[in-house]
Amino acid sequence: VCSMGNSTSRLYSALAKTLSSSAVSQHQDCLEELDSARLDPIDPKDLLEECQIVLQKRPPRFQRDFVDLKKNADSNHRPIRVMQWNILAQALGEGKDNFVQCPMEALKWEERKCLILEEILAYKPDILCLQEVDHYFDTFQPLLSRLGYQCTFFPKPWSPCLDVEQNNGPDGCALFFLKDRFELINSANIRLTAMKLKTNQVAIAQTLKCNETGRLFCIAVTHLKARTGWERFRSAQGCDLLQNLKSITQGAKIPLIICGDFNAEPTEEVYREFSNSSLNLNSAYKLLSPDGQSEPPYTTWKIRPSGECRHTLDYIWYSQHALNVNSALDLLTEEQIGPNRLPSFNYPSDHLSLVCDFSFNQDPDRLL
């Protein structure tokens, strides 16, 4: 193991063993997993320590607490922690998104990636669902595979990252799960359709078996079309995703968790489609509200040249007949976010991470 020098750490040593960015950009059609067997495991505490050394000149991480949501529902297994996060593609953050109050210095990848890793390592998800991943092959796959995760990536066919000079390849969705907790039963990469046309948005859906309970469940990650004026398009994409998931889950016989940046407020049609689906879905973060019926006031908050944007766009949906939400990570307050909003020196993305602990309902058929 390398000793820590002024500008070299075990983190960078680990990254040096992986594919270069130029090699990645030349082989985007080849999505086979990198051979992680030849890479030594990493102790998460060591990696977290290295990230903190890189970040020592930045403000400390925000304190966020888990809210206990159990309703006297005892579980006979360890909860399954699921993390949902649009991490902000590096090419977009530096090149297209134009966060006018965020200094370019705060967006430097060598430090911002450590902020992202620090957040992941702090919450220790069993399953991690990410959007806007454009450093999969040179950062997230090599590091997370060495932390014990099985990794899958599905890029957008026409990623806007490719329009940015010195990009790192296309962005896309990525799904990671701990191999010691789950067994992969099947996996589907879904290119979403709208009005019978294939679109630029994608999803990954994987059926896993929980090693502790033997129970099957499906985990899906997606990122729907952005921007005002595309509401009907998002609705069509949502319908296509739901149809795919109905088939994969055998019409809700297999419990389902869907993570995503839907780019849609709760007032949109696509939100109502998921709420009213025959898959019997509920949005986990509604449970943080006093009545359990309202989404958080925001999951993204940024300032662009057109003005300030505060929206609820990110969700964790789940089969409410088969799964219980034990707890959820509270959101950052306006005071914590600060007047310049996101991203910042404190926080690496314009979207907040969502984290929930799930357990299997002991009698799922009773609520169908």
The pLDDT, as a whole number, for residue 55 is: 96
Tokens of 76: 């006979």
The CA distance from 241 to 238, in Å, is 5
Region 16-21 average pLDDT: 41
The pLDDT, as a whole number, for residue 14 is: 52
Tell me which CATH homologous superfamily contains domain 80-363.
Endonuclease/exonuclease/phosphatase (3.60.10.10)
The CA distance from 92 to 95, in Å, is 5
Average pLDDT of the chain to the nearest whole number: 89
Which among 139, 136, 140 is positioned nearest to 159, based on CA atoms?
136
Q: Structure pTM?
A: 0.90
Gyration radius (Cα) of the chain, Å: 20
Is 8's pLDDT higher than 70?
no
Terminal CA-to-CA distance of the chain, rounded, Å?
A: 53
Which among 98, 202, 194 is positioned nearest to 159, based on CA atoms?
202
335 in helix, strand or coil? helix
The pLDDT, as a whole number, for residue 75 is: 76
Query: What are the pLDDT digits (tens) for 50-72?
Result: 999 999 999 998 999 999 998 76
Please, which residues have CB within 8 angstroms of residue 53's CB and are 6 or more apart in sequence?
A: 4, 9
Helix (H) or strand (E) holding 10: helix 10-16
The residue ranges of DSSP E strands in the chain, in sequence order, are 66-68, 80-86, 127-133, 149-155, 172-178, 182-194, 197-210, 216-223, 256-261, 281-283, 300-304, 307-311, 314-319, 323-329, 354-360
Pair 24, 17: CB distance under 8 Å: no
Query: What are the pLDDT digits (tens) for 291-319?
Result: 999 999 999 999 999 899 999 999 999 99
Residue 109 CB coordination number (10 Å): 17
The CA distance from 349 to 261, in Å, is 13
Helix, strand, coil share of the chain (percent; to 5): 30, 30, 45
Query: What are the pLDDT digits (tens) for 143-183?
Result: 999 999 999 999 999 999 999 998 999 999 999 999 999 99
Q: What is the DSSP letter of 285?
A: G
Which among 247, 207, 242, 250 is positioned nearest to 224, based on CA atoms?
242
Pair 289, 312: CB distance under 8 Å: no
Pair 348, 114: CB distance under 8 Å: no
Query: What are the pLDDT digits (tens) for 196-241?
Result: 999 999 999 999 999 999 999 999 999 999 999 999 999 999 999 9
Angle at 277 between CA 276 and CA 281, to 5 degrees: 85
